[in-house]
Each structure stands twice: as C-alpha cells, then as structure tokens.
Homo-oligomer: A and B are copies of this chain.
Amino acid sequence: MEQASLRDLNEPLIDHAEGQFFLNEAFKIIMEEVLSNGTDVKQKVCEWKEPEELALLLDLGVRETGEPRDKLLQRVRDVAKYSVKTSHPHFFNQQYGGVDYHSLAGRFLTEALNTNLFTYEAAPVFVLMENEVLRGLRQLVGWTEGDGIFCPGGSTSNMYAMNLARYQRFPEVKSQGVWALPRLSIFTSPESHYSVKKGAAFLGIGLDNIIFVKVDDRGRLIPEDLDEKIELSKSQGAVPFLVSCMSGTTVQGVFDPLDHIADICDKHKLWMHVDACWGGSVPFSKKHRHLMKGVDRANSVAWNPHKMLVAGLQCSALLLKDTTNLLKQCHSANATYLFQQDKFYDVNLDIGDKSVQCSRKVDCLKLWLMWKAVGSMGLEERVDKAFIHARYLVEQMKKREGFQLLSMVAPVIKERMMKQGTMMVGYQPLGNKVNFFRVTVFSPLLSQKDMDFFLDEIERLGKDL
C-alpha cells in the first residue's frame, strides 16, 4: 500500500510498451476464442451456466489492488468462453448474428481512435464520412437531398423521428413543453416495435395516445383503417401528428404498404415515419426493393445496418427528407464550449448539436469500410441470400411433420438447446397465437446446410415431447 502512494504522480502512470504487449496478447485470444472457435460449427454456441455458478467462475468483484498480466489475460479468455457466440452459424436467436471482418476492423479502429463525433476540429474524417454514408443511404431511399444522423440504436432513431415530427408541427414544444400543445396522437401498427411505446412514454406523449391501426391477415397495416382512426381521433379532440409504419416488423418481417399510407399522410398532413430498422436493407436488392415502394414519400426513415447488414452493434441511421435544418433546430442547445461561432472553418461542419447526445460514438466507419469492401452489389447479395434462406426454411418446414405443433413445447426445447449449447433461437407468442420459434437467417456466413441443421436440431430436441 505504501509502495503505491510513493509513485511519482508527475510521471505517466501507463507504460506504452507493457500496454501494447497486453493488447497484442488479448488480440490473439480474441482471434482464437471468438473468431475461430466461436464460428466453428463443431463448437458450442453457448456454454450455459446457472447465474450463481457463472458469477463464482468469473470472480467479478473489483478490489483495491490490481492483478498481474497473466491473470488478466485469463479473464479475457473466460469472458470470451462464457459469452454467447453471436457469429456462430447456429446462432439464430436475434437480428444481430454474424460477423463481417471489414466492419470489425473498422470497429477496432474506431475504438483505438476514440473519436467523439461533434465537431470538424475533433473528428475531421468522421464528420465527412458520416455525411457521405448518410448520403449513400438516402440515395437508396430515393432522396437526392436531406439530412440524417447516426443514433445509438433504432429505438433512439424512432424517438428522434417522433420528436422531430412534434417539433415541426409545434415548435413551441421546445421552450414551453407539451402543456402548450393540444393532446397529440400517434398511429402505428400493433406489430410495430416496442420502441414506439418507449418513445411515446419518454417524450411525455403517453402510451394512451398511441392508436393501433388494424392489420390484414398478413400483418400489414390497413390504410383505410388508418384513415378512419385518424378521423376518429380528431373528432375526439386530439391532434394526429405522426404515422409510424413498418418496413420489416420485428417478429414476422412484414412490410406495410407505404404508398397507400403516404396517400393518407398527405391527405391529413401528417409526418410519415418508416421504421425500417429491420427491413431497411431491401433497397439494395433489385429483386426485393419493391417491398419498400413509396418510401421516398416518407419524412423520415430509421434503418439499422447492425441488423441485416451485419455492421455490428451499434449502427442505426435516421434519414430525413428535410432540408431546412430541422434536426439542428429541434435538438440544439448551442453550447459555447463546443460550438463557438468564431471558428476558422465552416461551423456547419460541427454537426454535434443535431444530436441529443453530447459525446457520440463514431458508428459510420464500420459500415463505410464494409461498403467499400464489398460494394453495393455485395450488400445486394446479402439481402438476396437472406430471402433465399428464409424461403428455403419455410418450404422445408411445410414438408416436415410436427412443425405446426411446436407451440406448447417451445420453452422446453429452448431450455434443452441452451443447456446443450448446440444452437440458439428465440421463441415467443404472437397476438393470440401461442409460442413459436422466430428464426433469423440473414447472416452472410450461413449456408443451406445451416438451415437443415436448424430443422434437424429442433426435431432432435423435441422428439420425445
């Protein structure tokens, strides 16, 4: 203890040579455990432990004194060992499985640079790069102009859209709060992502002011019902301001009919937001882009390259048609310590005030590097491949008996698969239907035999049930 307090605090506390050696060793472990073993079909997807047992194994508590290098490297190995291998071909659990090495290189570089994306001075490369990537994404949506920003996830992108829609209609909300406004109403599909609810609660609009529009038997929002519900809401004294519709619902992957919805939004002069967090990548594909026909008529689009494009968490873009600097007007606080106006370069490049964050991670580099590596054509292939696998699975399931009967036993099958670690896939109820498995199969790492494995494995795990 005395030893430490005698260290000369006028000198650096960190030794670069030792630090870089450690980082090198840790990198080797990451390569081996996460990227080689972790993507090997012969290895487990997860190494299930009960929480109490895992806590003991990992010895998580922090202490007064530090630990030696070898112990720390063992910790790196243990964290890798007991974590779920999200890049494993049998991880079908959620919408972020898989790995892209170019993106991952971009992510390592992002971490090492530790750049804060608020001013040109602090982030010259990334201010320009974010701009360019957003331009590329907007182009796919069909916009030659516009605005946008990367957000810490699609939920935040959806919330931003909600706040912008409100501010555009009632700019006084920024200074006076919601009290100055009539009661607002939001329209969305019952299949929409729960972030619409979280957003309405967080922004002070309230869950009761979300109105759920009917969907057809394929889960698509019915424009006529939207029209009626808007009229009804008006007649009840509320002011409709936002329609939040879906390109790729979370559970079933449904695409709402955007063109028809746009007609209704035009008619009532409502902000049209498209939550394309999951489906937003289809415009890359000539075959499938028709699913989002009409998206260019929206006011905003939320799109998560960390899902179908495997860009890595987090990577979510909010795209805006607006050309009036609404994003900045709505979110700015004009802090003098960051956004001085007497700078020696064009202060329009200081984009930080468009965000409600202050520190903001660089989320564009990983997408940019991946896009440069495979081109738009490479990304198109990934989208097409995802559809091919999904279709194959559906066809195969129809041929196999018993796949309709899974619902009662889903939790048991899930428990068995987790404890054996052979694969991971999520289950859930939907509406008044009972439990079913939701398989996500978009990763570019997958092959048809992984689809077959999925089917065989469900059968194996459930055969005595």
Q: Is A444 part of the contact surface with B, judged by Cβ < 8 Å? A: yes
Interchain CB contact (< 8 A) of A100 among B14, B20, B64: B14
Interface string of A20-40 (1 = CB under 8 A from B): 101110110011001110010
**Please, how many angstroms separate the alpha-carbon atoms of A88 and B127 in the complex?**
20
A: interface residue count bin: 35 or more
Q: Is A10 in contact with B388, judged by CB distance below 8 angstroms?
A: yes
Interchain CA distance A113-B79 in the complex, whole Å: 10
Please judge, given known A-B contacts A203-B203, A375-B66, whether A159 and B100 are in contact too, CB under 8 Å: no
Across the interface, name the chain B residue whose C-beta is closest to A378: B66
The residues in A between 412 and 426 inclusive whose CB is less than 8 angstroms from any CB of B are 414-415, 418, 424, 426
Q: Decide yes or no whether A232 CB sits under 8 A from chain B.
A: no
Interface centre among A104, A105, A360 (most CB of B within 10 A): A105
9-residue interface stretch from A170-178, A213-221, A288-296, A455-463: A170-178
Question: Is A109 among interface residues, defined by CB-CB distance under 8 A?
Answer: yes
CB contact under 8 A between A337 and B65, given known A20-B36, A116-B313, A207-B174: no
Provide the A120-138 mask, 1 if CB < 8 A to any CB of B, else 0. Answer: 1111111111001100100
When chains A and B are docked, how far (Å) is the Cα of A427 from the Cα of B339?
A: 10
User: From residue 133 to 183 of chain A, which have CB atoms closer than 8 A to chain B?
Assistant: 133, 136, 152-156, 159, 163, 173-180, 183
Complex CA–CA separation, A274 to B284 (angstroms): 46
A198 to B31, CA, bound (A): 41
A326 sits at the interface (CB 8 A): no
Partner of A22, one of B20, B105, B133, B136: B105
- CB of B84 within 8 A of CB of A123, answer yes
Which residues of B sit under 8 angstroms from A115, Cβ to Cβ? 83-84, 86, 313
Q: Please state if B108 and A96 are interface contacts (CB–CB under 8 Å).
A: no
Among candidates B12, B27, B414, residue contacting A27 with C-beta atoms closer than 8 Å: B27
| Residue A229, interface by CB 8 Å | no
In residues 61-118 of chain A, which contact B (Cβ within 8 Å)?
61-67, 72, 75-76, 79-80, 82-84, 86-87, 93-94, 96, 99-102, 104-105, 107-109, 111-116
Residue in chain B with minimal CB distance to A3: B377
Q: Are A124 and B83 in contact (CB under 8 A)?
A: yes
A377-388 to B contact mask, C-beta < 8 Å, 1/0: 110011011001
Q: Kindly identify, within residues 364 to 415 of chain A, every residue whose CB is under 8 Å from any CB belonging to chain B.
A: 365, 368-369, 371-378, 381-382, 384-385, 388-389, 392, 411, 414-415
* 17 CB-based A-B contacts, threshold 8 Å: A13-B444, A14-B100, A14-B444, A20-B35, A23-B101, A64-B376, A65-B375, A76-B109, A83-B126, A86-B116, A156-B356, A178-B178, A178-B179, A179-B183, A179-B206, A195-B356, A199-B356
